[in-house]
Chains A and B, each alone.
Chain A
Amino acid sequence: MKTRYTFGGDEHIYVEIDEEMSLDAFFKSLSMSTAVRDANIPGVTEICPANASFQVKFDPDVTHPEDMLKRVKELEHMADSAEKRLSTRIVEIPVYYQDPWTQECVMRFRERHQDPSGTDLDYAARINGYDSVEAFIEAHHSQPWFVSMVGFVAGLPFLYQLVEREKQIQVPKYLRPRTDTPKLTVGYGGCFSCLYSVRGAGGYQMFGISPMPIYDPEQQVSYLKDFLVFFKPGDIVKWKPIDRAEYDRVTAAVEAGTYTPRIAEVDFDLEEFNADMAGTNEKLMEALNGA
């Protein structure tokens, strides 16, 4: 990993922990973001951790940009020595793969796609070497995912799969971004899965849809009454494949205010995970299934 510091105009410092994505880069980004927040540097207004980078927004009238850069750089060694361990939660998110709504959208934007002859799932399965869409879908949901960034639009999680790099799925983004994406579409771009929190533009490949809202500005949804955004970096997600009947049942339960996501409190230790991925994931799943 090689950390690179740069300015984003006169109001931002952008720190790229690494050019490529890894959980090591994520943990360092998160630790440094936390260190910057704890340092209470005068003039800092926003700290935004991302997958393998983070950004600090500040008022240059309060602290000169060069001084701010120096202060942030000084915190790098603290992140290096920080424990790469999180107390977090694992959440089960139901997904209706190959649903009619994202498939309609897939067909509507075919001319913006690398391979207009098939669907996003056909394409993703083929370029990742899977024999069938079903086998590809299985690979997408069989192991848990890590929320490595929240953003793009309100409350959208970027997810990184907890598997060896050679098992990571990679797909390109659409050639030209779409102007529409159904709300709660499960998307894929680069090595990241995402869950579109709201309807709108998007460039990720579309695989399915979830009935479980993750952003509610009205705060009517039972599990979003305390805060309008569901996810935060470090959350762990397990997709659960569902069919149309289950989709409809969950949707009705959400509307009735009776839906409760399955969630378990867990600890995640990066070193332990790197040493034994299968064993760590098994423990995560045990905790979830016991919830």
Chain B
Amino acid sequence: MALKINKPGLSTSVQDLGRPGYFHLGIPISGAMDRFALRAANLLVGNPEGAAGLEAVFMGPEIEFTEDAIVAVTGAEMPITIDGEAVEGWTSFTVKSGQTLAFGFLKTGARIYIAVSGGIATDPDLGSRSTYPIGALGGVDGRPIAQGDVIPSGQGIVGKAGLSVPTDLRRGPTNPAELRVLPGLYWNRLTEAAGNGFFEDTWIVAPEADRMGYRFKGGRPLEFVDREQPFGAGADPSNIVDGCYSYGSIQVPGGTEPIVLHRDAVSGGGYFTLGAIISADMDFIGQLQPNTPVRFVKVDMDEALAARTSRREALQKIRKDLT
């Protein structure tokens, strides 16, 4: 079976749960920005949770199906149509051979996930189908999809139409969004006032918000504890001797605009990081639109782990309902 891409959308890419194991070579994990939404979409159509689907940001693609398939769309709220007829998000439905799946204007959130029964079946690279454009890995020739692409998918309808994820489990970001942060890494570089200010200020999502990182503006510039810069780091007080970056870590080049590093982020570099977004909130970042106001909320490790547990339990409920 194949998906014919009549319109690619803005930056639609093949993504699965990512490519762990190569970070020490500068190859990031990649994979869905909102893993929860991808897992849910796969469960709805009867796929393994880690099957590859399509991630579309801000604007949906237009896809013609060459065979009957079960399809589900999760994540952001965006009107979904089959040959012009509206269908529901977070619910599995049938697309017949020759029919076209299309999307209206984005309402809330930023990224949708399209799962098809059998999964997207492009060739994996280093164990994953996730598209990593900088390294030209995964997806279609290592790039986002383009008009005219014919994307293979697995054989046979295994799922069934009409399954749905309960509304209370489709949680997206709030407005203003709250992103929970565990301070750490080079937190010690900040003055106490700067550290407090970071959590007091309201930031907004800058236009530079993509799979590599989300930049934030509008808060006060950060001040650093005085020191003589260590050998090899570089002269700016925000510079460190180049090290690894954690996923979700918040770097602030020059102390002005925080950048949260996401799935396709560079694996390391020479800017200090003040802590990291907790793992439970990483999925929400990818659903933030530019100009959304954001508060960073300080948490400790216990709170981070409790949030992770509650996220896992929500997923477990969906699994139980759908399988």
Contact = CB atoms under 8 A, between A and B. Distances in A.
B242 interface: yes
Consensus secondary structure, chain B interface: mixed
A6 B184 contact: yes
A190 B242 contact: yes
Interface in B278-322: 278-279, 301, 304-305, 308, 312
B266 A12 contact: no
Interface in B213-246: 230-236, 239-244, 246
B142 interface: yes
B230 A20 contact: yes
B193 interface: no
A151 B231 contact: no
Contact of B304 (A10, A158, A215): A10
B249 A217 contact: no
A9 B239 contact: no
B104 interface: no
Interface in A147-187: 149-156, 158, 160, 165, 168, 170, 172-173, 177
A45 B20 contact: yes
A190 B246 contact: no
Interface size on B, as a range, is: 35 or more
Given A21-B231, A189-B242, 18 more contacts: A8-B246, A9-B276, A10-B308, A14-B184, A50-B242, A61-B312, A151-B23, A151-B24, A151-B267, A153-B134, A160-B232, A165-B231, A172-B234, A173-B270, A190-B242, A198-B136, A217-B136, A229-B26
Consensus secondary structure, chain A interface: loop
A192 B232 contact: yes
Contact of B26 (A46, A156, A203): A156
A200 B133 CA distance: 11
Contacts of A200: 134
A229 B266 CA distance: 16
15 contacts: A8-B184, A8-B247, A9-B277, A9-B278, A10-B279, A45-B20, A50-B268, A53-B244, A54-B244, A66-B301, A151-B24, A170-B231, A191-B231, A192-B232, A217-B135
Contact of A60 (B27, B132, B308): B308
Given A7-B301, A173-B270, A153 B26 contact: yes
Contacts of A152: 26, 242, 266-269
Nearest to A45: B20
Given A46-B20, A158-B242, A8 B135 contact: no
Contacts of A265: none
Interface of B: 20-21, 23-27, 125, 132, 134-137, 142, 182, 184-185, 187, 230-236, 239-244, 246-249, 253, 266-270, 273, 275-279, 301, 304-305, 308, 312
A154 B243 contact: no
Contacts of B137: 154, 217
Contacts of B21: 45-46
Contacts of B269: 152
A190 B278 contact: no
A52 interface: yes
Contacts of B301: 7, 10, 65-66
**Which of B187, B233, B308 is most buried by chain A, counting CB atoms within 10 A of its CB?**
B233
Given A10-B279, A10-B301, A61-B312, A48 B268 contact: yes
Contact of A217 (B125, B234, B266): B125
Interface string A52-70: 1111010011001110000
